[in-house]
Amino acid sequence: KTVLVTGGSGFVAAHILNSFLSRGYNVKTTVRSDSSAEKIKKSHAKYLSQISFAIVPDVATPGGHDEAVKGVDGVIHTASPFQMKVENNERDLLDPAIKGTMSVLTSIQNHAPNVKRVIITSSFASIIDMNKNPRPGYTYTENDWNPVTYEEAASSSASGEIAYLASKTLAERAAWDFVAKNKPNFQLATICPPMVYGPAFHTISSLEHLNTSSADIYRLMNGSEKAVPKTQYYAFCDVRDVGEAHVRAYETHESAGQRYFCTAGGYTYQQVCDIIREDFPEKKALVPEGEAGDPVDRYKVDNSKIKKELGMTFKDLKTCIDDQVREFIEIEKRA
Ligand code: NDP
């Protein structure tokens, strides 16, 4: 069986690739360039005979995935920009996310009759309502939808962060609308992770150009933060668990038509700093100390659906951060 994973070069995608490859699937993955394909071959060298590539230079082009989807049995759509600082919200975030999702789904419908399951990597971005932050007393589940609109996100005053949240929300909504309207051959499920941390599976070429969520941890240990920053999103998931959730959703019949909030639970940057200071004494002087305790009364998150329906268990924050920080230290030593 062959699955297509879009955007195989990413931090999350590398773990999705590993989850499918280690279970024996053949994986075709889209990349924007040959050099990305070469990097993926290096990090997944163990499974070289199971990997193939399709070059899709622009994720948003209508028909751009027509060739890539041919002959596959399932599709995992994960390629989407995760950046909070961009020049143009529409061009750099909204278009690739929303039009990219439409391009993938339309190509499947027109050219891949064998595809029965499609899994989309969505996000807690499509669940949370930032206007109500930190929403004490509330518990987010997959029944919640971020109410952000395209107009808000595209306006010149909108931050890149709002545009990113909107790009994920509107892309996921567009996917569900596509399925409702077109009644395609395939069944859809979406995976919604919050901040994703943990060790990389892809090759990190430079600690200066980390993916957004890895950089979010590295800044807490490289001396660039003098005080513990205010936590932006009070929920996390280990990247290894996010990879596993995709393959479980793909293989579980009952996931058809479902959305899954893929989170290990709540966390704060203070907790991350405490873990690094305690477990890596050599870094202690670079990590802000902050204050003991947890002053902000905030929302909770509920992962009971994904545990029950996909049988997921989640790595805790200490394991996740320890493994990621250990990797950063090794890379620093090599540099
Ligand atoms: P990365 O930046 O590591 O990966 C992003 C991937 O998407 C890369 O393969 C990248 O390709 C591709 N991509 C980005 N923009 C475009 C574009 N305009 N056209 C084609 N391909 C593009 O980020 P993550 O691994 O963190 O993100 C992967 C997915 O996971 C995204 O859908 C993101 O929204 C989602 N997610 C991530 C979370 C996190 O905390 N990391 C949390 C929740 C969801 P290239 O290498 O060529 O740039």
CATH code of 67's domain: 3.40.50.720
Q: What pairs with residue 191 in β-bridges?
A: 121, 260
Tokens 């053949």 correspond to 26
Q: Are 60 and 82 in contact (CB under 8 A)?
A: no
In this structure, is residue 205 part of a structural domain? Answer: no
Residues 6+ apart with CB under 8 A from 224: none
| Domain span including residue 168 | 2-197+238-263+302-313
Using N-to-C axis directions, what is the helix angle for 34-43 and 11-22, rounded to 10°?
Answer: 50
In this structure, is residue 74 part of a structural domain? Answer: yes
- Mutate which of 80, 118, 210, 237 for ligand 1? The one with the most ligand atoms within 8 Å of its CB, which is 80
ipTM over 0.95: yes
Distance CA 145, CA 101 (A): 18
- Tokens for 246, please give them: 């995709």
Alpha-carbon 29 to chain mean position: 16
Domain count, the chain: 1
CA 79–ligand 1 middle distance (angstroms): 5
In this structure, is residue 102 part of a structural domain? Answer: yes
Name the residue among 194, 209, 214, 212 with its Cα closest to residue 327.
214
Q: What's the Rg (C-alpha) of the chain?
A: 19
Q: Amino acid identity, residue 67? A: E
CA 285–ligand 1 middle distance (angstroms): 32
Q: Which long-range contacts (CB under 8 A, 24 or more apart) does 285-289 make?
A: 286/221, 286/222, 286/223, 287/220, 287/221, 288/220, 288/225, 288/226, 288/227, 288/228, 289/228
Using N-to-C axis directions, what is the helix angle for 160-182 and 95-111, rounded to 10°?
Answer: 20
Mapping DSSP to helix (H, G, I), strand (E, B) and coil, where does residue 29 land? strand
Exactly one of 168, 183, 300, 315 is catalytic; name it: 168
pLDDT beneath 50: ranges in the chain: none
Q: In whole numbers, what is the pLDDT of the chain averaged over residues?
A: 97
Q: Amino acid identity, residue 304? A: S
CA 105–ligand 1 middle distance (angstroms): 18
Q: What is the pLDDT of residue 295?
A: 72
Alpha-carbon 96 to chain mean position: 15
CA 141–ligand 1 middle distance (angstroms): 23
First to last CA, the chain: 40
- Mutate which of 40, 58, 82 for ligand 1? The one with the most ligand atoms within 8 Å of its CB, which is 82
Name the residue among 135, 253, 262 with its Cα closest to residue 194.
262
Specify burial of residue 318 (Cβ count, 10 A radius: 0-12, 13-18, 19+): middle
Q: What is the pLDDT of residue 109?
A: 98
Q: What is the pLDDT of residue 127?
A: 98
Residues at CB less than 6 angstroms from ligand 1? 7, 9-13, 32, 36, 59, 78-82, 96, 121, 123, 168, 193, 195-196, 211, 213
Q: Whose CA is nearest to atom 21 of ligand 1?
A: 79
CA 27–ligand 1 middle distance (angstroms): 18
Q: Please indicate whether residue 168 is annotated as part of the active site.
A: yes
In this structure, is residue 137 part of a structural domain? Answer: yes
Distance CA 170, CA 216 (A): 24
Angle at 268 between CA 264 and CA 270, to 5 degrees: 135
Distance CA 255, CA 248 (A): 9
In this structure, is residue 274 part of a structural domain? Answer: no
Q: What is the pLDDT of residue 205?
A: 86
In this structure, is residue 321 part of a structural domain? Answer: no
Q: What is the pLDDT of residue 202?
A: 85
Distance CA 197, CA 321 (A): 7
Q: What is the pLDDT of residue 35?
A: 96
Q: What is the pLDDT of residue 24?
A: 98
Mapping DSSP to helix (H, G, I), strand (E, B) and coil, where does residue 90 land? helix
Distance CA 2, CA 67 (A): 14
Q: What is the pLDDT of residue 88?
A: 97
In this structure, is residue 330 part of a structural domain? Answer: no
In this structure, is residue 26 part of a structural domain? Answer: yes
- Mutate which of 4, 5, 11, 99 for ligand 1? The one with the most ligand atoms within 8 Å of its CB, which is 11
Q: Whose CA is nearest to atom 1 of ligand 1?
A: 10
Q: What is the pLDDT of residue 25?
A: 98
Distance CA 127, CA 191 (A): 11
How many other C-beta atoms can be found within 10 angstroms of the C-beta atom of residue 73? Answer: 16
